[in-house]
Structure 1
Amino acid sequence: MIATVGSSALLANIERVCAHGGAGRALRLKILDELRRSVAFDAFAFVLTDPITGVGASPVAEVPCLPELPRLIRLKYLTEINRWTDLPDRFVSLLAATDGEPSRSLLWRELLKQYGVVDVASAVFRDRHGCWAFLDLWRTAPGLPFTAAELARLSLVVPAVTDGLRRAQAATFVQTQAGREALRGPVVLLLSPDLDVLAETVPTFEYLRALMPSSDGQSPVPAGAYNVAAQLLAREAGVDDGTASACVHAGGGHWFTLRAARLGGPGPSADGTIAVTIEDASGADRVALFARANALTGRETELLTHLNAGKDTHDIAAQMHLSEHTIQDHLKAIFTKTGIRTRRGLLSHVRGR
């Protein structure tokens, strides 16, 4: 495909798409459509992340190696070159980062090379409130490497996309559907060190189906589980010291928390099984996510935490060493940022009920 849209038009189109918002998956696909009109690429992986841990939570991918998804995710987390956790706030190419020697990348050397990938343009979408997503754009033979001009054009949209993704996450905090029963645990998925599924508890299928709905009735792909398990491997390998956990939106105001750990205790093992647990996100996790997604300040987040704990204005003022008038000002600021007008409505969104 020949790109036809210039820099200014690309930025205007991206800003328009992000302003209209939409669900995380739909928004990402629209963003990709606009990017492709300006800069050609052959495959992509666009992954929402937990804004606190930076671990992948919800991927949208169109890659030739999709049947090898566990391997792709494992290598992505174990590769230090152009890892999203260390990227600057602009698009960077694999060839530029390796001085024209892509074999220095573990991911390229062990997987991408065999699929004819000649270059990868990577970006992270991060602001002061958290890390919201990362994106890899692939070019395959006989395509050409990404040019400096193309990378600069793509980089123009990073702030707008970051803001759009954050606001899309904020929009997920809605009251859950009345009458829907909470999913029951314990929910555990067992993976091999290569991220092959070994076993799962009975309720796990229902949780995974909520995370990755399947219209054809087939078993859902546990992409979120692969990501937290891969982060555990990266931590053990010394690549990244982040926590092997992620909060994942499951639709209808529901959020789950996924965590990975080795069976038998900490530390790497040649045959150590990885257990991934899935549970409803805690109240504290929901408050933290809601606050970040709605760009609340530290003081506003503290106030929201006290409100969620059931405290009134007098008690909150004493706890925060502020006047009740100042507490009301902070609360009005929260209402303005979230578009919610009452305390009851605010807490209903935070708690998802």
Structure 2
Amino acid sequence: MAAQQAMEGLRELAGAGLTAEKVFRRADELLRTLLEYDAVCWHSADPATGLVTSVLSDDLSLTEFETAVHLEVWADDVATFPAIRRSGVRAETLSRVTGGRPADSVRFREMIAPAGFGDELRAVFDAHGGMWGCAAFMRAADRGPFLAQQRELADLAARHLGNALRACHVPPVGADGRRETEPGGGPEDEGPAVVVLGPANRPLALSGPAEELLDRLADPSRTSLGVPTAFAVAAEQARRAARGLAVPQSKIRVQDSEGRWYVLHGSPLKGGSEGEVTVVAAPATPADAMPLYLSAYGLTAREQEVALLLVRGCDTRDVSRLLAMKPYTVQDHLKSVFAKAGVASRRELVARIMLGGGTA
């Protein structure tokens, strides 16, 4: 009964109009007793790549968070967030994936065990083709490993949390049809922000509107980095790419506290000391942001294809031909798209997607 009530509570979060931080805090209230964990790190993520972009933890001291970021990007480890996502499940434990030998994990040896924990349960929060967040739950060593039913419960909870976090990224629209958080001018007037990071991902220099942007992208929890997690991850991705190693993508998308999307791109600093990286953060272009808004509105993959063709100027006949659909099937998809995006016409849909929530 308690598990059923918790799942219902998580399901309701998708319609509660909460921020990601509030979703995480409410999820903690609902899940801590059921999963029996002693500490948790909650993370937002770039929905396109699944790369972590923020951290929230009231249980852990994040005084060595640069080590956690480095391990997350560089370590060839088990039960990583990307590995869990690829596996087809939403939750996994170190004890299960290592066959009862969690010390096979480098992050267990270097961070989890020294902190006094004996097992880790990780979950990824996917919804509508995007990974909107993830979490790592830790249990004290003297309490034994997570149970199979707790992993299964976390898997179910992750589905609801994916939908709740997706809903967080839908820009609010005011009574006048404009985005409630949109100040005069808009992000396109800002220009790029540039941050130079040292080997430990602490800032060495700032230029452009960087200082103000860093405040808006700040993590809910204070870390040892001195910059938001997204900047540190972008820097580590750049260092990997410079070594000729595979990276999910060279850019990371992150949403600020006002609902605007930014694209972060890191590159090694030419002429600088070893390990120094420049991270450039620029307002997302419509091409960068459109797929994110379409996912945030909860559109299916097919509905997103229809919506993108409309943005490109296609009419029903064009969409029918390009997607090999009957015209009435296209119309059915359009009705669903309009309902989910809260618009009544193609013109409104195009304007809302292009303006990031506003209407013409």
**What residue in structure 2 maps to residue 102 of structure 1?**
102
Letter of the structure 1 residue corresponding to residue 67 of structure 2? R
Structure 1 residues 294-309: aligned runs within 5 Å: 294-309=297-312
Q: Which of 81, 85, 89 matches 1:84?
A: 81
> Which residue does the alignment assign to 1:336?
339
Matched, 1:30 2:26: yes
Other structure's SS at 2:114 match? helix
Residues 44 and 244 from structure 1, CA distance in 2 versus in 1: closer, same or farther, beyond 3 angstroms?
A: farther
Q: Is the 8 A contact 2:7 2:157 kept in 1?
A: yes
Task: Report the Cα offset of residue 344 of structure 1.
Answer: 4.2
Match of 2:157 in 1: 157
2:231 is aligned with 1:187:
no
Kindly, what percent of the aligned residue pairs are identical?
25
* Cα distance change of structure 1 residues 234 and 147 upon mapping to structure 2, 3 Å threshold: farther
Could you tell me which amino acid in structure 2 is paired with residue 283 of structure 1? P
SS at the partner of 1:64? coil
Taking the TM superposition and a 5 Å limit, the aligned residue runs for 1:212-251 are 212=218, 221-233=227-239, 241-251=247-257
For residue 328 of structure 1, report the CA deviation from its aligned partner: 4.8
How far apart, CA to CA, are the structure 2 residues paired with 1:73 and 1:211?
A: 17
Q: In 1, are the aligned partners of 2:125 and 2:158 still within 8 Å (CA)?
A: yes
Question: Does the 8 Å contact 1:64/1:115 carry over to 2?
Answer: no
The alignment partner of 2:137 has SS state of strand
Task: Tell me the SS of whatever aligns to 1:51.
Answer: coil
Q: Which runs of 5+ in 2 are unaligned?
A: none
1:209 to 215, 220, 224: 215
Amino acid at match of 2:103: S
Letter paired with 1:332 = K
Partner of 1:139: 139
Structure-2 separation of matches of 1:196 and 1:178 = 30
Secondary structure of the 2:339 match is helix
Deviation at 1:85, TM superposition (A): 0.7
1:279 aligned onto 2:285: no
CA contact (8 A) 1:121 1:146 kept: yes
Tell me the SS of whatever aligns to 1:226: helix
- Specify the SS of the correspondent of 2:56: strand
Q: What is the DSSP-based 3-state SS (H/G/I as helix, E as strand, rest coil) of the residue aligned with 1:111?
A: helix
Distance 1:299 1:36, change over 3 A: closer
Give per-residue Cα distances to partners, 1:30-63, cap 9 Å, x unaligned: 1121111312222211112122111122332334
**Structure-2 separation of matches of 1:340 and 1:139:** 46
- Paired position in structure 2 for 1:349: 352
Distance in 2 separating the partners of 1:276 and 1:97: 35
TM-score (norm 1): 0.83
Structure 2 Cα separation of the partners of residues 298 and 233 of structure 1: 33
* Compared CA separation, residues 21 and 339, structure 1 to 2 (3 A): same
Shift of 1:289: 0.6
1:84–1:124: 8 Å Cα contact kept in structure 2?
Answer: yes
Q: Is 1:166 paired with 2:166? A: yes
Which position in structure 2 is the counterpart of 1:123? 123
**Match of residue 268 from structure 2:** 262
Supply the AA of the counterpart residue of 1:179: G
Shift of 1:240: 5.3
The CA RMSD over aligned residues, in Å, is: 3.4
- 1:89-147 Cα deviation digits (max 9, x unpaired): 23221222233333322222223332212211101122451222211011235443222
Aligned-partner Cα distance in 2 for 1:239–1:122 = 25
Q: Which runs of 5+ in 1 are unaligned?
A: none
| C-alpha displacement of 1:326 | 6.2
SS at match of 2:288: helix
| CA-CA distance at 1:204 after TM superposition | 0.7
